């Protein structure tokens, strides 16, 4: 049995504060546990982004395979390399071999711009597109993996490691806490926000028009305001989901790793939203953080 399966019965922790991404963690305190959503995912973190208050957590500092969530880091590093987004790249036999065993709608010989490849990698989780992005990175795939690990260190992702751009390798790992940092950084890029949340996108492949749809059905669900998202799945890591979204007027990051069942991660996200809409206990935790942040801001301005 996969080790993470054993933690599903553990209760979620309701935690008041966590350090902002990129800062030294402060000591956290626990509030009285409210009625909590019945989250099925093995590793969980829900964080209010303005105050870095952790609202729910389970195994938040444990590294686990992150599958195609990897593509967020791939795209962030490629984007920051400032390569021409209109450069045409041909999907190659190398991309096919690197993603063997996984269905793709991108035939060998398909010519797409770097922007189109990134769009499909983020929205439709196209593995050949992600591999082509890495293959065309300056220095190729080894250089991209090194850059991804360097970016992880710069973001303070202390439990992360990357070996390739698609997420098909179980050696691509990160903790939920690490992924809140990645999501926060990626959400600062308008391109990544748009590409990851588009509901559908079509490309020309030879004489055919091929339509792709978003792997996260919540982007098409009324009432959800999602700024950035990425799904993932490999057998070693289960179903995964990260999102930056707005719930009850608060920007929150949701990380769900190692979910069983086709729709469990989606159901967990909905349970989290319903919990936030139906209880006020999490607001008390945020209220404890905001005065301290205000004080720090005042002090900074006074220096």
Provide the annotated active-site residues. Answer: 68, 71, 125
Long-range contacts of 257-261 (CB under 8 A, 24+ apart): 257/4, 257/41, 257/42, 257/43, 257/44, 257/64, 257/66, 257/176, 257/179, 258/2, 258/4, 258/5, 258/41, 258/42, 258/43, 258/64, 259/40, 259/41, 259/42, 260/5, 260/8, 260/40, 261/40
Q: Torsion angle, CA of 62/254/40/58, rounded to 10 degrees? A: 30
Distance CA 187, CA 189 (A): 5
127-135 helix and 70-80 helix, angle to the nearest 10 degrees: 30
In this structure, the strands spanning 64-65 and 238-247 are: unpaired
24: its two tokens: 């030294």
Phi, psi (degrees; rounded to nearest 5) at 238: 70, -170
């Amino acid at each position: 049995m996969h080790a993470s399966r054993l933690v599903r019965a553990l209760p979620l922790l309701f935690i008041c504060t966590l350090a902002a991404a990129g800062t030294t963690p402060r000591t956290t305190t626990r509030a009285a546990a409210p009625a909590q959503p019945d989250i099925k995912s093995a590793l969980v973190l829900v964080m209010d982004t303005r105050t870095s208050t952790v609202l729910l957590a389970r195994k938040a500092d444990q590294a686990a395979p992150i599958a195609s969530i990897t593509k967020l880091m791939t795209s962030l590093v490629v984007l920051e390399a400032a390569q021409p987004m209109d450069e045409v790249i041909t999907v190659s036999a190398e991309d096919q071999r690197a993603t063997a065993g996984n269905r793709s709608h991108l035939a060998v010989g398909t010519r797409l711009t770097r922007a189109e490849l990134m769009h499909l990698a983020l929205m439709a989780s196209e593995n050949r597109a992600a591999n082509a992005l890495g293959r065309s990175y300056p220095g190729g795939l080894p250089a991209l993996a090194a850059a991804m690990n360097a970016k992880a260190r710069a973001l303070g992702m202390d439990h992360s490691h990357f070996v390739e751009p698609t997420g098909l390798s179980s050696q691509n790992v990160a903790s939920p806490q690490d992924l809140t940092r990645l999501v926060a950084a990626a959400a600062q890029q308008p391109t990544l926000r748009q590409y990851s949340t588009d509901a559908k996108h079509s490309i020309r492949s030879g004489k055919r028009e091929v339509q792709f749809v978003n792997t996260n059905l919540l982007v098409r669900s009324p009432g959800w305001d999602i700024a950035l998202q990425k799904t993932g799945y490999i057998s070693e890591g289960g179903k995964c989901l990260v999102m930056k979204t707005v719930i009850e007027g608060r920007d929150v990051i949701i990380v769900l790793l190692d979910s069983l069942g086709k729709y469990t991660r989606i159901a967990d996200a909905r349970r989290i939203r319903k919990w936030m809409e139906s209880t006020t206990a999490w607001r008390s935790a945020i209220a404890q953080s905001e005065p301290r942040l205000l004080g720090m801001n005042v002090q900074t301005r006074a220096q």
